[in-house]
Amino acid sequence: MIFKKLKINFLLAMLLMQLFANAQQVRVINNFDKDWSFIQEDITGAEKAELDVSKWRKLNVPHDWSIEGAYDKANLNARGGGYLPSGIGWYRKNFSLDESFSGKKITIEFDGVMANSDVWINGFHLGKRPYGYISFNYDLSKHLNFGKGKTNVIAVKADNTVQPASRYYTGAGIYRHVRLVATDLVHIGDWGVYITTPDANAQKAVVKVQTEISNESNKTAQITVETAVLDANGKVIKTTQSKQSVAANQSVKVDQNIEVANPKLWNVETPILYNTLTKVIIGNKVIDDQVNSFGIRSFKFDAATGFWLNGKNFKLKGACLHHDGGSVGAAVPLSVWEFRLKMLKQAGVNAIRTAHNPVAPEFLDLCDQMGFLVMDETFDTWTSAKNNGEKGYNRFWKEWWERDTRDMVLRDRNHPSIVIYSVGNEIHDNLDSPEGFKKYTDQQDLVHQLDPSRPVTMALFRPANSKVYTNGFAETMDVVGQNYRENELVALHNQKPTLKVIGTENTHVIQQYLALRDNPFMAGQFLWTGFDYLGEEDWPKITNGQGLFDRIGNWKQQSLQRQSWWSDQPTVHIVRKEDNAGAGEWINNWTPTDFDTYDDAKVAVYSNCDEVELYLNGKSLGSKPKPADDSPRLWDVTFDKGSIKAVGKNKGKEVSSEELKTARPPAKIVLSVDKSKIGNSWDDVAFVTAKIYDEKGNICPNADNLIKFTISGAGIIDAVDNGNIASHEMYKAQQRHAYHGVVMANVKGNAIGNIEIKATADGLENASIKIEVIK
């Protein structure tokens, strides 16, 4: 029997095991990720159970087959898809079900299939979903075989042949998690528990819980809905019950209000979460139950003062993130997102825009847990294609926008991290027309209907050209969002001060930073982007390099500068401007080497300290105060080999410093790992970083040696990368050339035990490191 009584959300599994260790869970959920077969071909009849699959590859999902391929300028997805392969992929899974499940409702849930997916069960076509980013499910109940010796076959076709389908990398395949769910015929509806906190302060909160109950039986059901609120430690705070009659083949919504005294409010500093446990009871029997996480908080957008959370006014310091994870493509283990969000926190980021599509549900769980605010976005296009002639969602928007918007909002609306929805990015449809107005208002109205607790925006594109600031369109928006052109957005608010405004996409330059800092009415801005992302670049580049961080998390000049602007921690960073760099472009991976190429250089220090003093080989080059506009402090330096050091002081006391030293020839590899223990789970990854140092322990930023990894024990090397946006080396490999002296390997466990990773390179001292794999 394939079913196991697992917890509802794998992110919350450990917590829920503690909360309900002694309780029987009625709703049965099976992780359906393992033991699939895959083939990348267009095979007629592949959905039929009798098809010979002996040549198919065995694998587990999530799986992105595009990232496994080779870069090629001739690949059809071109610059948008990062020149990686496209086509058709088939997945199949055989499974059996005990006879005891024959009276249940059996549903398969996909968190995302890229793209144009078709799904069959035992040869019966269940349906098609064009949008690769959306979560969806199908009822299998009427088409299943139950009992000993009887099998079932689920088949999934992912069709990515029509290209270019996007302006950025999509991936291909069943690239997010899959579950099989068994419920009673009377059950909680899909995403049927909706939790809000309309009254929330430090003294009291009202938790409003609306539960949709579906009765798919042939007789009326007399039910009791019992909802308990539990704190972060699993303690039941309060329980309430409501009785309800549900007619056959009908659904009802049950509203309950639960008062919580002295709640711990969710915020970006202390993101404390609560849970609800909802039970559906007939007689004395629990027939369905569900756990949902939520946070108690209040927020608002104000036209004059911007954003408020729990009565505190501050800026949304945001970054946009695409859904790929670099070397892992679109199938992103949770550890990758955790690593990236930690890096963004260090840079001072407190908000994420999901550019430009629904994300994996566990990504939003992480934002809840780590204290990020979220702009949750639906689409990159409506009916008009973007300027590269893409053949993507614009082909399906008219038929599918309502269903896809509904499913995203219903799925996501309990996340306390989400404070605003966006229904479009740089939409090219004509917004200076009644049709354009209607397209927007229809979407905004639907979101309000499904979730009246949050405002709606969209990322306007060249508003002066589209006339949305003069034709009344902006006045229809809950919050006016605009990409770039900050001066236009500031001018709009100054002309129409009742409008709420936010920067939905912004560059890293100081003028855009000041537009946020110096205007109280600007609620926030979202930098393009948080991390470099695959695609949207011209060959031989294969990655867009506008991120605060590169693909493996290396700091760049814009992240160092942003940290000096947005972080509350004292910060000092030394960078050097290259001769051919553009205005404001600085080289931050510099160490004072290659002295035969220059004697003089312009040095900048990014710092939020009151005073910075610069030293060359111990000699002071002078101190400089913090400029009023927070720009970098500049020195013209005549170099000598040795060291350069910047010291930051607040009120005369040293609070931060950075020292760079001349690098000698490469001598050795040094390995480090972000954690010494990982779980035996697809989502848990250890990041092993190999850096090339000289004999004195200084990083060699120009080293590009080929580093080879070997692994032994209870694990695998899942991917390797170096962050180079023009490298065409394979990610699914065990070697890669260093870039700026660095290579990273993603390591996963495949059994309980120990792992040893070794790194070698010709002419360098080798290195090894160990990791333990635990349950």
String of DSSP letters for 607-623: E-SSEEEEEETTEEEEE
pLDDT exceeds cutoff 70 at 420:
yes
CATH code of residue 67: 2.60.120.260
Rounded to whole angstroms, the Cα distance separating 742 from 492 reads: 46
493 in a structural domain: yes
756 in a structural domain: yes
pLDDT at 594: 43
Q: 406 pLDDT band (50/70/90 cuts)?
A: very high
The reply to whether 37 and 130 lie within a common domain is: yes
pLDDT exceeds cutoff 80 at 592:
no
* Given the residues 362, 505, 537, 613, the one annotated as active site: 505
Average pLDDT over residues 668-695: 97
Please tell me the total count of domains within the chain.
5
326 in a structural domain: no
The reply to whether 396 and 498 lie within a common domain is: yes
CA 701 to chain centre: 30
Of 150, 183, 216, the one marking the end of a domain is: 183
> Residue holding tokens 């479009």?
424
- List the one residue out of 506, 608, 604, 530 whose CA is nearest residue 567: 608
Q: What tokens appear for 544 in the block?
A: 């867009």
321 in a structural domain: no
pLDDT at 576: 83
Is the pLDDT higher at 5 or at 71?
71
The reply to whether 50 and 162 lie within a common domain is: yes
Average pLDDT over residues 546-572: 97
Asked if 300 and 252 touch (Cβ cutoff 8 Å), the reply is no
- Give catalytic status of residue 765 as yes or no: no
Q: 102 pLDDT band (50/70/90 cuts)?
A: very high
pLDDT at 45: 63
- List the one residue out of 726, 388, 719 whose CA is nearest residue 542: 726
* Three-class SS state of 513: helix
Q: 641 pLDDT band (50/70/90 cuts)?
A: confident
Range of the domain at 356: 350-529
Average pLDDT over residues 425-447: 97
- One-letter-per-residue 3-state SS of 37-57: EEECCCCCCCCCCCCCCCCCE
- List the one residue out of 445, 450, 528 whose CA is nearest residue 486: 528
Residue 653 CB contacts under 8 Å (≥ 6 apart), including other chains: none
String of DSSP letters for 90-107: EEEEEE---GGGTTSEEE
Report the amino acid identity of residue 616. Answer: L
Please, what is the Cα angle at 52 between 47 and 53, to 5 degrees?
80
Of 168, 183, 198, the one marking the end of a domain is: 183
The reply to whether 195 and 247 lie within a common domain is: yes
pLDDT at 599: 63
- How does strand 767-774 pair with strand 677-679? parallel
pLDDT at 764: 98
511 in a structural domain: yes
Q: What tokens appear for 530 in the block?
A: 């948080």
Average pLDDT over residues 506-531: 97
pLDDT at 3: 37
Q: What tokens appear for 428 in the block?
A: 């090219």
Q: Give the C-alpha distances (Å, rounded to integers) separating 71 from 84, 89, 726.
A: 5, 18, 11
pLDDT at 200: 97
Please, what is the Cα angle at 285 between 284 and 288, to 5 degrees?
140
Rounded to whole angstroms, the Cα distance separating 183 from 304 reads: 49
Average pLDDT over residues 455-460: 98
pLDDT by residue (tens digit) across 535-553?
Answer: 999 999 999 999 999 999 9
Rounded to whole angstroms, the Cα distance separating 366 from 345 reads: 13
pLDDT exceeds cutoff 80 at 510:
yes
The reply to whether 378 and 507 lie within a common domain is: yes
- How does strand 136-139 pair with strand 543-544? unpaired
616 in a structural domain: yes
Asked if 284 and 316 touch (Cβ cutoff 8 Å), the reply is no
pLDDT exceeds cutoff 60 at 590:
no
Q: What tokens appear for 276 in the block?
A: 């609800």
pLDDT exceeds cutoff 90 at 588:
no
> Residue holding tokens 């034709």?
471
Percent of the chain with pLDDT strictly greater than 90? 89
Q: What tokens appear for 339 in the block?
A: 């690593």
* Given the residues 68, 377, 390, 426, the one annotated as active site: 426
Average pLDDT over residues 505-511: 96
- One-letter-per-residue 3-state SS of 329-346: CCCCCHHHHHHHHHHHHH
pLDDT at 638: 87
The reply to whether 190 and 176 lie within a common domain is: no
* Three-class SS state of 81: coil
The reply to whether 365 and 495 lie within a common domain is: yes
- Give catalytic status of residue 426 as yes or no: yes
pLDDT exceeds cutoff 60 at 593:
no
The reply to whether 47 and 148 lie within a common domain is: yes
The reply to whether 684 and 579 lie within a common domain is: no
pLDDT at 9: 41
pLDDT exceeds cutoff 50 at 586:
no
pLDDT exceeds cutoff 70 at 433:
yes
pLDDT exceeds cutoff 50 at 651:
yes
211 in a structural domain: yes
HSE-up (13 A, CA, CB side) for residue 43:
20
pLDDT exceeds cutoff 60 at 344:
yes
pLDDT exceeds cutoff 70 at 477:
yes
Average pLDDT over residues 685-695: 97
Of 661, 679, 701, the one marking the end of a domain is: 661
Rounded to whole angstroms, the Cα distance separating 331 from 340 reads: 15
Q: Give the C-alpha distances (Å, rounded to integers) separating 16 from 208, 281, 295, 368, 416.
A: 22, 21, 16, 16, 19
pLDDT by residue (tens digit) across 103-162?
Answer: 999 999 999 999 999 999 999 999 999 999 999 999 999 999 999 999 999 999 999 999
232 in a structural domain: yes
Average pLDDT over residues 31-56: 78
pLDDT exceeds cutoff 90 at 71:
yes
pLDDT at 53: 66
Q: 425 pLDDT band (50/70/90 cuts)?
A: very high
CATH code of residue 712: 2.60.40.10
Please, what is the Cα angle at 106 between 292 and 146, to 5 degrees?
145
pLDDT by residue (tens digit) across 483-497?
Answer: 999 999 999 999 999
The reply to whether 278 and 426 lie within a common domain is: no
pLDDT at 47: 60
Rounded to whole angstroms, the Cα distance separating 698 from 577 reads: 21
Average pLDDT over residues 480-485: 96
pLDDT exceeds cutoff 50 at 63:
yes
CATH code of residue 381: 3.20.20.80
pLDDT exceeds cutoff 90 at 564:
yes
pLDDT exceeds cutoff 80 at 728:
yes
String of DSSP letters for 472-492: SHHHHSSSEEEES-HHHHHHH
The reply to whether 71 and 148 lie within a common domain is: yes
Q: 465 pLDDT band (50/70/90 cuts)?
A: confident
pLDDT exceeds cutoff 60 at 450:
yes
Report the amino acid identity of residue 215. Answer: N
The reply to whether 43 and 123 lie within a common domain is: yes
